[in-house]
A and B are shown apart, each in its own frame.
Chain A
Amino acid sequence: MSERKIILSAKDIEVQFRVRDSYLNAIRGVSLDLYDGETFAIVGESGSGKSVFTKTFTGMLESNGKVTNGSVMYDGKDLTKLVSDKDWEGIRGAKIATIFQDPMTSLNPIRTIGSQITEVIIKHQKVSADEAKKQAIEIMDRVGIVNAANRFDEYPFQYSGGMRQRIVIAIALSCHPEILICDEPTTALDVTIQAQIIDLIKDLQKELKFTTVYITHDLGVVANVADRVGVMYGGQIVEIGTVEEIFYEPAHPYTWALLSSLPQLGVKGQELSYITGTPPSLYNVIKGDAFAPRNKYALKIDFEEEPPFFKITDTHYAKTWLLDPRAPKVEKPEAIRNLHEKISKMTSKGGAYYVEQ
């Protein structure tokens, strides 16, 4: 693991938004090394900062936000130092591309699908219009648009939601980026379409060998796509580990709560477990552990002092006082113990989620 090449390295990132006369601390010190070719998933509730954090990789923070601390090293450059669009040329879209949640708002409704793909190819690769069209049809074909040549001149409204998201992926990949940021790419889609889009991104990644950052609030999706996972809460990563560690050996109470609230694990006739309260307001200075007020396992110290990262394995770290040697021993909740056995039962013959392959 340690010999793997680091493609992007974010260190101690802090992001602040100015809202009227006050400041909102959206990201409160996040560090992350992204390995070449991996899929890293970021999970968390709305407002936890997962989108904001990755926007620092492409300089796409809203105009009232700025990186107030830390660095994002990529290809020998500190991306936080780039300012103008000219600085970003050759990186944003070309090397680091983003797919957004809603394909309807990321496509221009009054321009043809074809022109929106060729625009990007011509801009970044400086090829002729004919060559760009050839490449565009090729990539449309690759993302699963049937009869691509005929659909080249159609408009977004003539495409279904799933097809539109395929086009957004085609545009993002048309410049062969090294890093693809998928910001909730399937949240606006139906489950069946979601499954197809996830399969598509995985296949393309295998073929084109890019690195993926996958942002989602759905842990089921994370299990499918991720090699490693970072769980975000209140503008910080609170637990990070391999996908197996996060699902089978989660250590942070917030990760426990997220996992236990999945309806897939619900038992009929019993209450689904859920997280009480609301996420912390990031306008205020947060004392101690941001999750403490909603955490039923909170210790006294959680309200007073921010926990450091405790190392569990070489790849697994969690920011919770429960891992301190002085802390009382707490078991994860019943619903997520022996998770693999439980889900194996559900998905094997006779189980509720058994599907004949």
Chain B
Amino acid sequence: MSNNKEVLLSVRGVDVSFDVGGKKPFRAVKNANFDIYKGETFALVGESGSGKTTIGRAILRINELSKGEILFKGKRISGKITKEEDRDVIRSIQMIFQDPAASLNERANIEYCISEGLYNFHLYKDEEDRIAKVDKALEDVGLLPEHKSRYPHEFSGGQRQRVGIARAMIMEPELIVADEPISALDVSIRAQVLNLMNKLKEEKGLTYLFIAHDLSVVRFISDRIAVIHLGRIVEIAETEELFKHPLHPYTISLLSAVPMPDPQIEKPKRHVVYDESKRDHSGEKPILQEIRPGHLVFANDREMKEYEAKLQEMERLEASNS
């Protein structure tokens, strides 16, 4: 996946601000910079209020940028674009939402829920073609053609999320923004949906932006991870690298919060709390900079030296262990 690095989506210097009545606008996203490569799953991890969903929505043109630009396949899709380009973006970038019960129209049957995008964009030759497409989408997500006539409330949470995935898939998108797609689901169902997303990625060569707050889920599904805290991306690395060599204290705090299913280990564990205000702010302003190829961390020069020393210590230890 990272061998042929074709950039599909590029987020460059993006700021998103919201007006909060007269006062200084609230900067929900601060200078976000990252690329998503074709065929990978890129995860954006952070807690509520960190701005991760705002970035996802900015990509889909729901939130306006106050600074920077977003490129899709090399073409700018943020700001003013033609109507035609807008239609193109909507079709090629689709979203899966957190709560499958709230994101489906409960008064429409599944056939309509899934066809809605086709209707809006006239993406079918005739009725027969539309139904064939719906059937195919249902099959792709592991549902049956006879489910078409049912209503959302007749499905379990996991099945509803499958419908949510099917209605995104029917548009034949290239990029899917999945915003906490499994947070509202039971643990046993989470596994099914994750497996399904992985399967579709393999089969259709999809690219995902996976938004989540739980690192354990993200580790299983993503190729690269960006950790975001208070609107700021604080660390980006390939998944295994991030877990092996977490550097930013907030990443470490997130890692310590993952509950491990082992009482002997979990019981004595204390959660590491990250407090931004307690950070040593001395020295120049921090920026997101590369410490190893592909591993970026938000730091100033003094912190970079500390992280470098820590990283070398970790690498030395690994070398002596193997």
* In contact, A353 and B260 (Cβ under 8 angstroms): yes
Q: Which of B188, B214, B273, B274: most chain A CB closer than 10 A?
A: B188
Give the number of residue pairs across the A-B interface with Cβ within 8 Å.
153
The residue on B at minimum CB distance from A264 is: B216
Residues of chain A lying within 8 A (CB to CB) of residue B157: 46
Residues on the A chain within 8 Å of B243, using CB: 352-353
Within B186-242, the residues touching A (CB, 8 Å) are 186-192, 194-195, 198, 213-217, 219-220, 239-240
Given the complex of chains A and B, what is the CA–CA distance between A258 and B272 in angstroms?
27
In the bound complex, how far is the Cα of B215 from the Cα of A346, in angstroms?
A: 14
Contacts of B262-295 to chain A: CB distance below 8 A: 262-267, 269-274
A-side contacts of B47, CB under 8 Å: 190-193
- Nearest A-chain residue to B193, judged by Cβ: A274
Task: Assess whether A223 is in contact with B188, with CB atoms less than 8 Å apart.
Answer: no
Contact string, A243-258, partner B, CB cutoff 8 A, digits 1/0?
Answer: 1100100000000011
Q: Which of A222-241 contact B (CB under 8 A)?
A: 222-224, 226
A191 touching B258 in the complex, CB below 8 Å, given contacts A266-B220, A272-B195: yes
On chain A, the residues within 8 Å of B261 by CB distance are 219-220, 222-223, 247, 259, 262, 264-265, 339, 343
- Evaluate whether A352 and B263 lie within 8 angstroms (CB atoms) in the complex, with A161-B48, A263-B190 already known: no
Among candidates B187, B189, B267, B273, residue contacting A218 with C-beta atoms closer than 8 Å: B187
Q: Which 4 A-B pairs have the closest CB atoms?
A: A220-B259, A274-B191, A195-B271, A190-B47
Q: Which of B10-18, B71-79, B143-151, B248-256 contacts A (4 or more CB under 8 A)?
A: B248-256
When distances are taken between beta carbons in the complex, the residues of chain B under 8 Å from A199 are: 270-271
CB contacts (< 8 Å) of A272 on chain B: these are 191, 194-195, 220
A135 within 8 A of B: no
Indicate if the CB atoms of A263 and B220 lie closer than 8 Å: yes
Q: Are B217 and A190 in contact (CB under 8 A)?
A: no
**Residues of chain B lying within 8 A (CB to CB) of residue A346:** 260
Q: Which residues of A contact B66 (CB under 8 A)?
A: none
15 contacts between A and B (CB under 8 A): A190-B48, A191-B47, A191-B215, A196-B273, A223-B262, A223-B263, A226-B263, A244-B263, A258-B188, A263-B190, A264-B216, A266-B191, A339-B261, A349-B317, A350-B314
Residues of chain B within 8 A of A275, CB atoms compared: 188, 191
For B270, the chain A residues whose CB sits under 8 A away are: 199, 357
**Given A199-B270, A264-B261, A343-B260, A192 contacting B253 (CB threshold 8 A):** yes
* Cβ contact within 8 Å between A192 and B254: yes
- Complex interface bits, B78-114 against A, C-beta within 8 A gives 1, otherwise 0: 0000000000000000000000000000000000000
The complex places the Cα of A347 from the Cα of B188 at a distance, in Å, of 23
| B254 interface neighbour in A191, A258, A261, A278, Cβ under 8 Å | A191
| B312 in contact (CB, < 8 A) | no
A261 to B182, CA, bound (A): 13
Among the listed A224, A273, A278, A356, which residue makes an inter-chain contact with B267, where contact means beta carbons less than 8 Å apart? Answer: A224
User: At the interface, yes or no: A285 with Cβ under 8 Å from chain B?
Assistant: no
Contact of A261 among B191, B244, B266 (CB under 8 A): B191
Hey, which chain B residues are within 8 Å of A247, CB to CB?
Answer: 261-263
A299 contacts the other chain (CB 8 A): no
A194, CB-defined interface residue at 8 Å: yes
In the assembly, what is the distance between CA of A192 and CA of B274, in Å? 9
Q: Is residue A355 within 8 Å, beta carbon to beta carbon, of the partner chain?
A: yes
